[in-house]
């Protein structure tokens, strides 16, 4: 009996040479079941270059009020879950499979929202984190057995129209150990005031130091870690006398990483987070030299135990002929000193700076609300075609819905309603004489007559009674706002049940 | 046969494009009439023939490979050669799904296009290392034979590498050798045994014909005392084999000086200079316009080669023929170091009929001065030409040092015949 599985041919020799229909009868369903299981298990073939991992288990600490009842990845932007945008980007790039890391509680919600709002062609493998205190690097350590090739790590809150092959080309050309996506901050997203907050929270900047070609990253430091000065090692300056320091770039948390980094993470358990710990560690280790064992054990002393910390350079293995090729090739990435190509550095970290285009992370309340306000712009950039008014929406006469809004299905809108720069979720009921400007209404919100909502976020199943005036507020899920209430710059969230 | 064809293709080319078209159309009709006769002018030399280009475009589409944008303005004399505009992304049309071009090959193609891997030996070695990886990852589909299917798998990879950068002669010979072994693989072997055999073939090719040949050439130079104490050796641009020879000779204790001559736009001489100085050799550095002044000091000239042609000409980096000419005029002997795997059956008498056209924008940068040619595209009458290779006639070359010994330039067909006999035996 021959079975074809994934390109390999397995042959079973029948144990009994003669006819044994009973045995075959027993074997065939088992074999077909085995085949069924094998084919439906997610198997990464060797030809895949990058294995995408979507990090959707984050607690969403900066979106705390909104994520109390639902995971951050399932929050709706333009009536699609936040995690849908990176999934869409992966689908467009041609990926067929991805691993998505979720929290145990959040998995059901994310799955429900994804299937409800849109069709996802990408085959997602859900992996739950066992310990909620785990950092992103700890998660990589946990799923080490599933990682077969180089990684593409994407956060769930990244909305971008970058074509992945640009950053992949930079990674491939220089055979980099780590490549990250950097983008200049779009000012309007971060300068707007968050609903519910009384003042602007200052945005944390990151400092990046590049070499003269603006590709290789020489150092990285976030503003929080910098007291007054940024210090750079003299040895780095000796190797790279020309350094370009940029402070206006954000790290989009999209990383292309070589497989050996995961092996190193397994060995070195002190690194818990990718952005705050692993990335600066790798950038620093670019310039580390191989440790020379200078002290041999004395002959008359007994060596009880030696603390062998695995040197990172032992993990960064190259192909067998890579050193020969570099030696034979007449190319050098820098001129003016006696050093070899790349200064002989085996670990190389590169950054791809995206000029123009759209790239933003919706991990704070202000960027989340601004993303909803600019949803049509996002749709044009990412090539999504959604009618701004869903065909099933009931719109009474004399009501105006701006072209830059998105209204989802099942919503009923009353008379003389004016909606501008807003996103309205599914099955909402909006009464008459309502004004909604610059706001986000999630699913199943009821807004009664005469209300005036400006610059706010209203979460699911809330009821806004008649003639409310809400300016710049954040209304949590299931809230009820009194008639004729006036709310300004407030956060009306779920109060603890006693 | 081929050299007569390319020579005749060269002469009408100089006269005008129309005559070339007639000759090529005659060739095509002749080819269709007698099907067995090989094409006199290969496809990649017919960039101005619309029919050939359409055929090539269809083939690329079938293989799902990107088509590079053809350069807007080419020098009319070189219309038959391909020149591409520098693209934002070569791999834009590739999806990340499995089952397309193998990722190792994509990486290799990008490194060729960016110039990260540059130099005949380096490119060939990188390509063979990539093919090793491809063969390792390859599994024969059911109902198919490895000998046929593997060749069909490799074909689009070679087209892609060609699209990224024109294949060098060394790469072409290596691919021919590999294909020969694939097609002659006995069918009764199991998959992993056949793959193991192929990997061993590639390994032995790399070891014998690239790496150990360099060692052998260096040894010949040392044994025949081609570098003596007090010599002043002039080298041009960067050649891995010449560098190895000089460094080995220096390490043996010979005392000599080196003059490195360099030329724009690649300025590879700087890299040669860096490596020689790091080895401890005293060097001088000249630009090619001062080559005749430098030649008065030189006692020998040592050149590397991209390929050695069947009529004895040496094809090498553009500027080599000038160096050889000046050396001949100053009575300085010229030694060419070349491994035998770079020997080619082609014959050329000029540098026009077959060459590589580099990116013309490389010529714009002139260091600290203002780039006058920045807006060369705005002037309709101005076209930039960036040739990569040129051909040195055998009269200027005194000696060729190969791993088989010291041979004159004109012995190339003999070596080729010998190697052919060897491969036919195996």
Could you tell me if A128 lies within 8 Å of chain B, comparing CB atoms? no
Residue A99 has pLDDT above 80, yes or no: yes
Beta-sheet pairing, A178-184 with A349-354: parallel
CB contact under 8 A, A329 and B119: yes
Residue A495 has pLDDT above 80, yes or no: no
List Cβ neighbours of A103 (8 Å cut-off, separation of 6 or more).
A56, A57, A59, A71, A128, A129, A132
Rounded CA-CA distance A224/A227 in Å is 8
Q: Are residues A483 and A450 in the same domain?
A: yes
Residue A309 has pLDDT above 60, yes or no: no
**Burial of residue A47 (number of CB atoms within 10 Å: 0-12, 13-18, 19+):** middle
Q: CA B143 → CA A9, A32, B66, B146, B288, distances in Å?
A: 11, 21, 30, 10, 59
Say what the pLDDT of residue B36 is: 61
Locate tokens 């010949």: which residue?
B220
Q: What is the pLDDT of residues A389-402, one digit of tens each?
A: 777 778 787 888 88
CB contact under 8 A, A165 and B89: yes
Could you tell me if A288 lies within 8 Å of chain B, comparing CB atoms? no
- Phi, psi dihedrals of residue A475, rounded to the nearest 5°: -105, 125
Contacts of A94 in chain B (CB under 8 A): 94-97
Per the domain annotation, does A193 fall within a domain?
A: yes
Could you tell me if B110 lies within 8 Å of chain A, comparing CB atoms? yes
Locate tokens 């209204």: which residue?
A407
Weakest mean pLDDT among A31-45, A463-477, B143-157: A31-45
Contacts of A165 in chain B (CB under 8 A): 89, 91-92, 94, 96
Residue A38 confidence class, pLDDT cut points 50, 70, 90:
very low
Per the domain annotation, does A63 fall within a domain?
A: yes
CB contact under 8 A, B211 and A324: yes
Q: Can you name the residues that pair with A128 across neighbouring β-strands?
A: A102
Say what the pLDDT of residue A401 is: 83
Per the domain annotation, does A319 fall within a domain?
A: yes
Size of interface A-B (CB pairs under 8 A): 112
Q: Are residues A246 and A320 in the same domain?
A: yes
Weakest mean pLDDT among A67-71, A456-460, A476-480, B226-230: A67-71
Could you tell me if B133 lies within 8 Å of chain A, comparing CB atoms? yes
Say what the pLDDT of residue A17 is: 45
Residue A129 sits in a domain whose CATH number is 3.90.550.10
Q: Are residues A413 and A274 in the same domain?
A: no
- A139 touches A129 (CB < 8 A): yes
Per the domain annotation, does A186 fall within a domain?
A: yes
3-state DSSP helix/strand/coil % of chain A, to nearest 5? 30, 25, 50
- A163 touches B89 (CB < 8 A): yes
Rounded CA-CA distance A124/A91 in Å is 11
Contacts of A97 in chain B (CB under 8 A): none
Locate tokens 């017919």: which residue?
B46
Interface test with A, best of B92, B96, B136 (most A CBs within 10 A): B96
Q: Are residues A353 and A402 in the same domain?
A: no
CB contact under 8 A, A321 and B111: no
Rounded CA-CA distance A92/A165 in Å is 11
Q: Are residues A198 and A255 in the same domain?
A: yes
Residue A168 has pLDDT above 80, yes or no: yes
Contacts of B100 in chain A (CB under 8 A): 47
Preceding peptide of B265 cis, ω within 30°: yes
- Which chain B residue's Cα is nearest to A337? B274
- Which chain B residue's Cα is nearest to A338? B274
Could you tell me if A409 lies within 8 Å of chain B, comparing CB atoms? no
Query: Residue A419 belongs to what domain range?
Result: 388-492
Rounded CA-CA distance A475/A365 in Å is 12
In the structure encoding, which two tokens stand for residue A16, read together?
């009994």
Between CA A437 and CA A446, with CA A440 as vertex, the angle to 5 degrees is 95
Beta-sheet pairing, A8-11 with A50-55: unpaired
CB contact under 8 A, A332 and B92: no
Q: Which of B274, B286, B277, B281 is nearest to B319 (CA)?
A: B286
Q: Can you name the residues that pair with A180 across neighbouring β-strands?
A: A255, A351
The whole-number average pLDDT for the span A400-411 is 83
Rounded CA-CA distance B227/B254 in Å is 8
Taking a contact as any Cβ pair under 8 Å apart, which residues of chain B between 298 and 357 contact chain A?
none
Strand ranges of the sheet holding B389-392, from the earlier edge strand across to the other edge: B307-308, B314-317, B389-392
Q: Can you name the residues that pair with B315 across neighbouring β-strands?
A: B307, B391
How many domains is chain A partitioned into structurally? Answer: 2
- B360 touches B384 (CB < 8 A): yes
Strand ranges of the sheet holding A217-222, from the earlier edge strand across to the other edge: A217-222, A206-210, A244-246
Query: Where is the domain boundary, A311, A343, A371?
Result: A371
CB nearest B142 (choices: A9, A320, A330)? A9
In the structure encoding, which two tokens stand for residue B43, read together?
């496809």
Say what the pLDDT of residue B337 is: 95
Quickly list DSSP for A173-238: HTT-SEEEEEEEPPHHHHHSPPTT-SSPPPPPPEEEEE-TTS-BEEEEEEGGG-SS-----HHHHH
Rounded CA-CA distance A257/B39 in Å is 47
Contacts of A174 in chain B (CB under 8 A): 116
Locate tokens 């670990």: which residue?
A347
Q: Are residues A76 and A39 in the same domain?
A: yes
- Which chain A residue's Cα is nearest to B99? A47
Per the domain annotation, does A61 fall within a domain?
A: yes
In the structure encoding, which two tokens stand for residue A451, read together?
């209300």
- Rounded to the nearest angstrom, the minimum Cα separation between B361 and chain A is 18
Per the domain annotation, does A7 fall within a domain?
A: no
- Rounded to the nearest angstrom, the minimum Cα separation between A91 and chain B is 9
Could you tell me if B163 lies within 8 Å of chain A, comparing CB atoms? no
- B43 touches B56 (CB < 8 A): yes
Residue A388 confidence class, pLDDT cut points 50, 70, 90:
confident
Per the domain annotation, does A12 fall within a domain?
A: no
Contacts of A173 in chain B (CB under 8 A): 107, 110-111, 114, 116
Rounded CA-CA distance B403/B212 in Å is 8
In the structure encoding, which two tokens stand for residue B128, read together?
């063979």
- Which chain A residue's Cα is nearest to B98? A48
Rounded CA-CA distance A278/A139 in Å is 13
CB contact under 8 A, B96 and A321: no
Q: Are residues A411 and A265 in the same domain?
A: no
Residue A403 confidence class, pLDDT cut points 50, 70, 90:
confident
Q: What is the pLDDT of residues A228-256, one digit of tens each?
A: 888 888 988 888 989 999 988 888 889 99
DSSP B208: I
Could you tell me if A332 lies within 8 Å of chain B, comparing CB atoms? yes
Per the domain annotation, does A376 fall within a domain?
A: no
Contacts of B271 in chain A (CB under 8 A): 330-332
What's the per-residue H, E or C state across B49-82? CHHHHHHHHHHHHHCCCCCCCECCCCCHHHCCCC
DSSP B182: H
Could you tell me if B126 lies within 8 Å of chain A, comparing CB atoms? yes
Could you tell me if A384 lies within 8 Å of chain B, comparing CB atoms? no
Q: Are residues A395 and A340 in the same domain?
A: no
H-helix or E-strand spanning residue B258? strand B256-262
In the structure encoding, which two tokens stand for residue B269, read together?
């001489």
Could you tell me if A338 lies within 8 Å of chain B, comparing CB atoms? yes
In the structure encoding, which two tokens stand for residue A442, read together?
């999630």
Q: Which of B356, B286, B345 is nearest to B316 (CA)?
A: B356
Say what the pLDDT of residue B292 is: 94
Q: Are residues A445 and A407 in the same domain?
A: yes
Rounded CA-CA distance A292/A282 in Å is 20
Could you tell me if B87 lies within 8 Å of chain A, comparing CB atoms? no
Q: Are residues A403 and A349 in the same domain?
A: no
Say what the pLDDT of residue A20 is: 52
- Phi, psi dihedrals of residue B250, rounded to the nearest 5°: -65, -40
Contacts of B91 in chain A (CB under 8 A): 165, 168-169
Q: How many helices (H) and strands (E) does chain A have?
A: 13, 34
Rounded CA-CA distance A148/B98 in Å is 13
Residue A33 has pLDDT above 70, yes or no: no
Residue A174 confidence class, pLDDT cut points 50, 70, 90:
very high
User: pLDDT per position in chain B (426 positions), as tens?
Assistant: 444 444 444 444 444 444 444 444 445 544 444 456 677 777 777 888 888 888 888 888 888 888 888 887 888 889 888 888 877 777 877 888 777 889 999 999 999 999 999 999 999 999 999 999 999 998 888 888 888 889 999 999 999 999 899 999 999 999 999 999 999 888 888 888 999 999 999 999 999 999 999 999 999 999 999 999 999 999 999 999 999 999 999 999 999 999 999 998 999 999 999 999 999 999 999 999 999 999 999 999 999 999 999 999 999 999 999 999 999 999 999 999 999 999 999 899 999 999 999 988 889 988 888 999 889 989 989 999 999 999 999 999 999 999 999 999 899 899 999 988 888 876
Query: Where is the domain boundary, A371, A404, A423?
Result: A371
- Rounded to the nearest angstrom, the minimum Cα separation between A362 and chain B is 26
Query: Where is the domain boundary, A314, A346, A371?
Result: A371
Residue A498 confidence class, pLDDT cut points 50, 70, 90:
very low
Q: CA B184 → CA A329, A458, A486, B194, B423, distances in Å?
A: 32, 72, 86, 11, 11
Could you tell me if A122 lies within 8 Å of chain B, comparing CB atoms? no
Q: Which of A374, A357, A5 is nearest to A161 (CA)?
A: A357
A47-61, A278-292, B283-297, range with greatest mean pLDDT: B283-297
Rounded CA-CA distance B129/B202 in Å is 8
Q: Which residue has the higher pLDDT, B89 or A435?
A: A435
CB contact under 8 A, A95 and B141: no
Q: Which of B213, B138, B218 is nearest to B182 (CA)?
A: B138
Say what the pLDDT of residue A43 is: 37
Residue A396 sits in a domain whose CATH number is 2.160.10.10
The whole-number average pLDDT for the span A9-28 is 50
Q: Are residues A88 and A159 in the same domain?
A: yes
Q: Are residues A465 and A354 in the same domain?
A: no
Rounded CA-CA distance B113/B87 in Å is 10
Weakest mean pLDDT among A137-151, A299-313, B179-193: A299-313
Residue A6 confidence class, pLDDT cut points 50, 70, 90:
very low
């Amino acid at each position: 009996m021959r079975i074809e599985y994934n390109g390999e041919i397995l042959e079973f020799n029948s144990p009994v040479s003669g006819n044994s229909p009973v045995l075959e009868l027993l074997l065939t369903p088992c074999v077909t079941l085995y085949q069924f299981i094998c084919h439906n298990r997610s198997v990464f073939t060797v030809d895949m270059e990058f294995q995408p991992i979507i990090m959707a288990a984050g607690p969403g600490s900066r979106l705390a009020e909104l994520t109390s009842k639902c995971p951050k990845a399932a929050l709706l932007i333009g009536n699609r879950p936040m995690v849908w945008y990176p999934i869409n980007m992966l689908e467009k790039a041609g990926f067929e499979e991805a691993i998505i890391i979720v929290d145990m509680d959040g998995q059901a919600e994310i799955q429900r929202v994804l299937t409800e709002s849109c069709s996802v062609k990408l085959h997602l493998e859900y992996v739950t984190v066992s310990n909620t205190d785990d950092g992103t690097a700890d998660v990589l350590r946990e799923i080490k057995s599933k990682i077969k090739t180089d990684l593409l790590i994407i956060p769930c809150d990244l909305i971008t129209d970058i074509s992945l092959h640009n950053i992949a080309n930079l990674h491939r050309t220089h055979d980099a150990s780590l490549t990250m996506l950097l983008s200049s901050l779009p000012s309007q997203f971060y300068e707007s005031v968050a609903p519910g907050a009384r003042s602007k929270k200052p945005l944390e900047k990151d400092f990046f130091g590049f070499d003269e070609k603006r590709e290789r990253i020489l150092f990285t430091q976030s503003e929080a870690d910098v007291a007054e000065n940024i210090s750079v090692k003299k040895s780095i300056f000796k190797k790279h006398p020309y350094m370009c320091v940029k402070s206006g770039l954000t790290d989009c948390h999209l990383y292309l990483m070589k497989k050996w980094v995961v092996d190193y993470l397994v060995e070195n358990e002190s690194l818990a987070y990718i952005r705050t710990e692993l990335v600066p560690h790798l950038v620093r280790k670019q310039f580390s030299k191989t440790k020379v064992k200078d002290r041999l054990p004395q002959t008359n002393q007994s060596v009880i135990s030696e603390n062998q910390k695995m040197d990172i350079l032992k993990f960064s293995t190259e192909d067998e002929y890579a050193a020969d090729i570099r030696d034979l090739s007449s190319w050098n990435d820098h001129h003016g000193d006696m050093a070899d190509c790349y200064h002989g550095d085996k670990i190389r970290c590169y950054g791809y700076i995206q000029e123009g285009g759209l790239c933003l992370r919706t991990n704070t309340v202000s960027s989340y609300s601004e993303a909803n306000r600019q949803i049509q712009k996002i749709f044009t950039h990412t090539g999504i075609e959604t009618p701004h008014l869903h065909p099933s929406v009931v719109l009474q006469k004399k009501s105006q819905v701006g072209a830059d809004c998105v209204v989802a299905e099942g919503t009923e809108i009353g008379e003389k309603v004016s909606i501008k720069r807003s996103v309205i979720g599914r099955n909402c009921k909006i009464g008459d004489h309502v004004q909604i400007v610059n706001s986000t209404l999630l699913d199943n919100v009821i807004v009664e007559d005469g209300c005036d909502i400006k610059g706010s976020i209203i979460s699911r199943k809330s009821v806004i009674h008649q003639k409310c005036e809400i300016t710049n507020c954040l209304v949590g899920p299931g809230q009820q706002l009194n008639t004729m209430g006036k709310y300004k710059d407030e956060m009306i969230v779920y109060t603890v049940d006693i | 046969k081929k050299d007569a064809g390319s020579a005749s293709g060269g002469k009408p080319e100089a006269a005008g494009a129309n005559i070339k078209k007639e000759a090529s159309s005659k060739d095509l009709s002749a080819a269709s009439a007698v099907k067995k006769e090989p094409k006199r002018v290969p496809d990649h030399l017919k960039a101005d023939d619309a029919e050939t280009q359409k055929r090539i475009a269809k083939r690329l589409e079938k293989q799902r490979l990107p088509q590079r944008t053809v350069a807007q303005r080419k020098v009319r004399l070189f219309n038959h050669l391909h020149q591409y505009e520098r693209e934002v992304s070569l791999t834009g049309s590739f999806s990340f799904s499995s089952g397309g071009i193998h990722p190792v090959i994509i990486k290799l193609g990008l490194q060729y296009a960016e110039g990260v891997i540059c130099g005949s030996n380096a490119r060939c070695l990188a390509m063979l290392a990539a093919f090793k990886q491809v063969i390792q990852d390859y599994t024969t589909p059911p109902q198919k034979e490895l000998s046929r299917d593997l060749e069909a798998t490799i074909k689009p990879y070679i087209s892609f590498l060609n699209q990224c950068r024109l294949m060098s002669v060394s790469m072409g010979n290596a691919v021919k050798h590999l294909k020969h072994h694939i097609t002659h693989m006995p069918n009764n072997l199991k998959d992993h045994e056949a793959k193991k055999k192929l990997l061993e073939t590639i390994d032995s090719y790399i070891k014998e014909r690239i790496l150990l040949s360099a060692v052998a050439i260096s040894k010949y130079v040392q044994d025949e005392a081609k570098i003596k104490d007090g010599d002043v050796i002039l080298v041009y641009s960067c050649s891995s084999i010449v560098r190895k020879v000089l460094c080995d000779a220096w390490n043996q204790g010979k005392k000599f000086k080196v003059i490195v001559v360099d030329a724009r736009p690649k300025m590879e001489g700087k890299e040669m200079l860096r490596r020689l100085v790091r080895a401890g050799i005293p060097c001088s550095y000249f630009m090619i316009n001062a080559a005749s002044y430098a030649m008065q000091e030189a006692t020998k000239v040592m050149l590397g080669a991209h390929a050695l042609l069947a009529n004895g000409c040496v094809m090498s980096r553009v500027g080599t023929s000038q160096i050889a000419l000046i050396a001949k005029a100053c009575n300085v002997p010229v030694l060419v170091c070349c491994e035998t795997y770079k020997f080619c059956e082609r014959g050329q008498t000029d540098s026009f009929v077959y060459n590589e056209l580099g990116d013309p924008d490389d010529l714009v940068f002139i260091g600290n001065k203002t780039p006058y040619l920045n807006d060369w595209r705005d002037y309709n009458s101005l076209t930039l030409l960036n040739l990569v290779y040129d051909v040195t006639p055998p009269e200027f070359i005194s000696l060729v040092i190969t791993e088989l010994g010291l041979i004159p330039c004109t012995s190339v067909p003999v070596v080729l015949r010998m190697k052919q006999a060897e491969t036919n035996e195996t």
